[in-house]
């Protein structure tokens, strides 16, 4: 009888299943989307390339080597048409990972939907549109905090009135965890962002008070789930409780449905390893369980990384594997047949209560500073994240935090999945960039130039005033304006913003007492400086191109500082010319370049050539990032002194190797210093 009851029980509807995808060109990405939908994917998650995310056209100098690398290039309406060709947007749920240029991409999406004959009021999907975490962790911000918050506010007001099923913001704690956030920091910083956004919408006067519940109901969240899946599941329950309290007490929302915590997930890519990458499969499964096991805290949408993301760009087959992981759990297991299986657990309840209390205390601390935007501008949030990340890295290096295959159980059989490493990932054809640029030039040549310039003029006037920017942005789309032109028009009015790096405020993360590895490296640094007749060794840490993932660069900068280096670190988004100029002006002993976007093949040789032209060719250049083995060999052949990839997790050891390269470049004898 019990079996009959179980079989008759109605199963919950599965979450939306997505894969984060986009590469090369709009045409190639469109083909990928249609293949994924045919395999049973139930929503789209669009990855845009870095020029699109940061408001540059593909022919801009900073876009060189970045076009189509980590996502699809969309520089004008024609690209957006091709991206969604033969995909009926009226029946699609589309998530777009876009922030600084979110208004622009949403406007293009709306126009394409209109051209398909869709009713705009029925469109469903999400624009990430969380600029705070870009300042803190991902680095695709463009405008200062105030104007950025206005863009977000205008989008929310517009969608509530015209696209009521669209989620205009996806407050994103995912990248906070990747930048080192503890569960408490992830909750507190995301909730503080939500408060800043909701306060701004309320204070703008664009939404009538009686419709503010509609605003709250369209706020969604995008979170990270790490491998500590019990703690992560408790984090999600804590998120829900705090959101319910804030929306009820601070904003007076009485409708419980409008107060529901609505979230999607990408599980933790930071924890995926280059060493023994097959272990990433079980990590992904455990991380997914954290956000699906508990019915009362279950994600509304899930996208999983692929097992080989620490090696490079996943292939369609790798993404299919991750989709199948979701489908097996949802369709073959009995997960969706039960009420919340953790209800009544005193262990879970105690953990959740502790997270709630600690998170509320941190939220209060941020509010006392003036809120999330003030805490960004002061550097407080960034410094806290850099510090937390440094502490975690120190635990991994010491062996206190175990990473299987990295700092324990490192002996392994040959891996058939990576036997031919250079075919175990997807590569982007460098010729795609030229094709995208040529298409952009044809677009500009064929448009009504007067209408485009008039639309940009109206956009600037609107930005200088206080009216909602969405109508002017829609006219720019229809007039053929490009992504870079839209962003530059707003830069002219709003200015640009360089976020605090958080490096100078980060405390010492590892001890340097006599006998420790850091003490040995410190002695090595001091003796090398003495041998060279200089006060201190100087290291420039540079991030050329548009890659904003600065966690690794920041950790190298902090540890080099703690080892006795004078560190020159100017943050993200620099041209090779700017990096070389700084290296020459500061008379550095080594240049370290960090690139995770795949643009190393273009940008690193440019830096090397400029160093030689500036008379600094003897200064060693080292490179770190997600770099396939064939590329690493080519970089060394081009003159790079050393290449570091995610398998090189020992930061103190890396600093020691940097000193070795400085000694080699200056014809000094090798120096052995015991820990």
Active site residues: 20, 174-175, 543, 547, 549
Of 356, 246, 244, 239, whose CA–CA distance to 294 is shortest?
239
Residue 175 buriedness (CB in 10 A; 0-12 / 13-18 / 19+) = buried
**DSSP characters over 653-675:** HHHHHHHHHHHHHTTPPP-----
CA atoms 466, 470, 474, 480: torsion sign: positive
CA atoms 63, 67, 72, 77: torsion sign: positive
CA distance 662 to 622: 10
The conformation of residue 424, written as its DSSP 8-state character, comes to S
What contacts 649, CB < 8 A, 6 or more positions away? 393, 396, 397, 403, 406, 407
CA distance 477 to 454: 12
CA distance 572 to 547: 7
Q: What's the per-residue H, E or C state across 194-234?
A: HHHHHHHHHHHCCCCHHHHHHHHHCEEEEEEECCCHHHHHH
Helix ranges restricted to H, 116-260: 132-133, 145-162, 174-178, 183-204, 212-217, 229-249
Phi, psi (degrees; rounded to nearest 5) at 377:
-65, -30
CA distance 611 to 632: 19
The conformation of residue 544, written as its DSSP 8-state character, comes to B
Question: What is the arrangement of strands in the sheet containing 44-47, beginning at the earlier edge strand?
Answer: 20-21, 44-47, 93-97, 124-127, 166-167
Asked if 527 and 519 count as a contact pair (C-beta separation under 8 A), the reply is no
Of 441, 487, 428, 573, whose CA–CA distance to 59 is shortest?
441
For residue 409, the surrounding DSSP H or E stretch is none
Of 572, 492, 469, 448, whose CA–CA distance to 62 is shortest?
572
> How many residues does this entry show for the chain?
675
Report the Cα 662 to chain-centroid distance in Å: 33
Of 269, 348, 275, whose CA–CA distance to 306 is shortest?
269
What contacts 533, CB < 8 A, 6 or more positions away? none
CA distance 565 to 247: 48
Q: CA–CA distance from 346 to each of 342, 343, 356, 413, 462 (Å)?
A: 9, 9, 15, 42, 55
């Amino acid at each position: 009888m019990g079996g009959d009851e179980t079989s008759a029980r109605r199963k919950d509807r599965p979450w939306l299943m997505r894969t984060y995808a986009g590469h090369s060109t709009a045409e190639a990405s469109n083909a990928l989307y249609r293949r994924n939908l045919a395999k049973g994917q139930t929503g789209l998650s669009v990855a845009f390339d870095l020029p699109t995310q940061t408001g540059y056209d593909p022919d801009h100098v900073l876009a060189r080597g970045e076009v189509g690398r980590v996502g699809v290039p969309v520089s004008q309406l024609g690209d957006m048409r091709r991206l969604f060709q033969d995909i009926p947007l009226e029946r699609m749920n589309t998530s777009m990972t876009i922030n600084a240029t979110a208004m622009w991409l949403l406007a293009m999406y709306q126009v394409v939907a209109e051209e398909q004959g869709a009713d705009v009021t029925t469109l469903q999907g999400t624009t990430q549109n969380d600029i705070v975490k870009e300042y803190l962790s991902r680095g695709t911000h463009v405008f200062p905090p105030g104007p950025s918050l206005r863009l977000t506010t205008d989008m929310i007001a517009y969608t509530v009135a015209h696209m009521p099923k669209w989620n205009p913001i996806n407050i994103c704690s995912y990248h906070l965890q990747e930048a080192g956030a503890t569960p408490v920091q992830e909750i507190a910083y995301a909730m503080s962002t939500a408060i800043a956004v909701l306060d701004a919408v309320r204070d703008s006067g664009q939404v009538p008070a009686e419709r503010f519940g509609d605003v709250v109901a369209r706020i969604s969240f995008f979170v990270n789930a790490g491998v500590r899946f019990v703690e992560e599941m408790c984090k999600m329950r804590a998120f829900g409780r705090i959101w319910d309290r804030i929306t009820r007490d601070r904003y007076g929302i009485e409708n419980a449905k409008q107060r529901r915590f609505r979230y999607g997930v990408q599980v933790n890519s930071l924890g995926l390893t280059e060493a023994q990458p097959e272990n990433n499969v079980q990590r992904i499964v455990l991380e997914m369980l954290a956000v699906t096991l508990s019915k009362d805290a279950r994600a509304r949408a899930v996208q999983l990384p692929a097992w080989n993301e620490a090696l490079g760009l996943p292939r369609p087959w790798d993404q299919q594997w991750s989709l199948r992981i979701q489908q097996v759990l949802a369709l073959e297991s009995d997960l969706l047949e039960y009420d919340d299986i953790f209800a009544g657990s005193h262990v879970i309840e105690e953990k959740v209560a502790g997270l709630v209390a600690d998170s509320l205390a941190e939220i209060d601390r941020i509010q006392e500073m003036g809120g999330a935007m003030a805490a960004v501008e002061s550097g407080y949030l960034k410094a806290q994240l850099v510090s937390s990340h440094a502490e975690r890295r120190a635990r991994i290096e010491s062996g206190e935090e175990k990473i299987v295959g990295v700092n324990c159980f490192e002996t392994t059989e040959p891996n058939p999945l990576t036997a031919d490493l250079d075919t175990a990932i997807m590569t982007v054809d460098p010729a795609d960039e030229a094709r995208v640029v040529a298409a952009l030039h044809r677009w500009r040549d064929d448009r009504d130039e007067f209408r485009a310039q008039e639309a940009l003029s109206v956009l600037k006037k609107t930005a200088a005033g206080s009216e909602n920017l969405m109508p002017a942005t829609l006219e720019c789309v229809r007039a053929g304006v490009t992504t870079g032109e839209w962003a530059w028009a707003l830069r002219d009015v709003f200015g640009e913003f360089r976020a605090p790096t958080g490096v100078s405020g980060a405390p010492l993360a590892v001890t340097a007492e006599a006998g420790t590895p850091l003490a040995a490296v410190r002695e090595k640094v001091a003796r090398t400086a003495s041998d060279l007749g200089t006060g201190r060794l100087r290291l420039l840490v540079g991030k050329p191109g548009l890659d904003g993932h600065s966690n690794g660069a920041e950790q190298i900068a902090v540890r080099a500082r703690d080892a006795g280096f004078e560190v020159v670190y100017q943050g993200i988004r620099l041209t090779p010319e700017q990096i070389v100029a700084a290296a020459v002006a500061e008379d550095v002993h080594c240049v370290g370049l960090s690139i995770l976007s795949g643009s190393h093949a273009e940008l690193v040789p440019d830096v090397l050539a400029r160093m030689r032209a500036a008379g600094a060719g003897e200064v060693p250049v080292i490179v770190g990032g997600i770099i396939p083995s064939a590329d690493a060999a080519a970089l060394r052949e081009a003159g790079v002194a050393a290449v570091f990839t995610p398998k090189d997790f020992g930061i103190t050891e890396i600093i020691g190797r940097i000193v070795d390269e400085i000694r080699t470049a200056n014809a000094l004898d090798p120096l052995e210093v015991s820990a």
